[in-house]
Structure 1
Amino acid sequence: MTDATIRRRRPQLSDEVVTYLRDQIMSGELRPGVFVRLDEVAATLGVSITPVREALLTLRGEDMVELEPRRGYRVAPLSRQDIVDVFELQGHVAGQLVARAAASITAEQLADLRTHQEGLRAASSAEEVEDREFEFHRTLNRIADARKLSWFLHTALRYTPVSFYSSDPGWRASMLTAHDDVLDALEAGDAERATAEMARHFTDGAERLLTHLDAQNFWASE
């Protein structure tokens, strides 16, 4: 188990609540305009009201919830175009990072990435998929050696409902294929192909989320 995995599995309570609420909002379980019930969230997660309040302050700063005086926090508007925009941004930044990696990656670094990929392929639970996918991209971004780009990607990825994807067998299969294609492009030193494959990885994520939200008639709330 890596240090990064330990840190991800032992977050602060408020961070845990933030992750839960982000997933609920971005997967359509909490719809725009709905008020977040602090007591219900606290009971669901087995925490006190305090970390829920702290989490909502964080989410307000991310434009995921809005504070209505004397009424509380409600989910901020979220449109189809918002989803498209977020994933296009993620794909663009991730594509720039993988292009940087393609220009400098060593045989040892590529072998390390393939080891992470095999660990991901063998993952047996949604939680393990989340941890190992995080570690794969974290390793790739370190190879790119673009600190600020990596920070921007990390920030943009906050809008990704991680548990929605990790629990979807179809996404898991698609993700593994995308990683394999990226690795092959890196091995060939083909930055253009690596960038295109990474962009497709994020496009697939957007399409799956939009299909899910369409099935929920989510846009009726716009």
Structure 2
Amino acid sequence: MTKRDLADVANVQAHVGGELAARAAISISDQQLRGLRQIQAQLEEAYAADDDERTVQLNHEFHRAINIAADSPKLAQLMSQITRYAPESVFPSIEHWPARAIKHHRRILSALAKHDDKLARAAMADHLAASAIPLIDHLIARGVVAEGGALGTSRPGRS
């Protein structure tokens, strides 16, 4: 894979993830919101404890819970296929990523709690797009991803 390949995947992931979050904002129940808040609290504790394995698991649960709340099985299935290309296990070791992810997740939770589909879409799309560059840089530095291809990750619909 090249950095362009990963950037392409990240852009599609940001678009689909944003749509899933928007749909979740409309249909999410109070019980689902409580569950998401619990997952986020546990995730923040795991980050603080440098428990990388647990952070990966909880981050996956956080995003999966939103995808379930969206009640859009085909979009969620597509998202699952897209995320195969993003190795989640490296995120806890990327410098400054845990603090950024916590901030992003809180913004997503706030939008979901307000049932604001536009805010939720933007918050999730921004979160997923923001993860691309540090991930790609991390993978290039370790020789996992080839340098080839132009890198242009921006939120879908923006230049």
Q: Is the 8 A contact 1:141 1:150 kept in 2?
A: yes
Residue segments in structure 1 that go unaligned for 5+ positions in a row:
1-77
Q: Indicate the residue corresponding to 2:147 in structure 1.
A: 219
Q: Indicate the residue corresponding to 1:204 in structure 2.
A: 130
Q: Indicate the residue corresponding to 1:14 in structure 2.
A: none
Q: What is the distance in 2 between the residues matched to 1:169 and 1:130? A: 15
TM-score, scaled to structure 2:
0.82
Q: Indicate the residue corresponding to 1:55 in structure 2.
A: none
Larger radius of gyration: 1
Q: Is the 8 A contact 1:213 1:219 kept in 2?
A: no
Q: What is the distance in 2 between the residues matched to 1:163 and 1:105? A: 28
Q: What is the distance in 2 between the residues matched to 1:167 and 1:219? A: 21
Superposed displacement of residue 161, structure 1: 1.5
Q: What is the distance in 1 between the residues matched to 2:59 and 2:139? A: 24
TM-score, scaled to structure 1:
0.60
Mapping of 1:1-222 within 5 angstroms?
78-123=1-46, 124=49, 125-213=51-139, 215=141, 218-219=146-147
Give the aligned length.
Answer: 145
Q: What is the distance in 2 between the residues matched to 1:151 and 1:179? A: 21
Q: What is the distance in 2 between the residues matched to 1:79 and 1:116? A: 33
Identity of matched residues, %: 37
Higher RCO, 1 vs 2 (CA within 8 Å, ≥6 residues apart): 2
Letter in 1 for 2:105: H
Residue segments in structure 2 that go unaligned for 5+ positions in a row:
150-159
Q: Is the 8 A contact 1:96 1:195 kept in 2?
A: yes
Q: What is the distance in 1 between the residues matched to 2:128 and 2:25? A: 18
- Counterpart secondary structure, 1:219: coil
Question: 1:138-161, CA deviations, whole angstroms, 9 ceiling, x for partnerless residues?
Answer: 111111111111111111100012
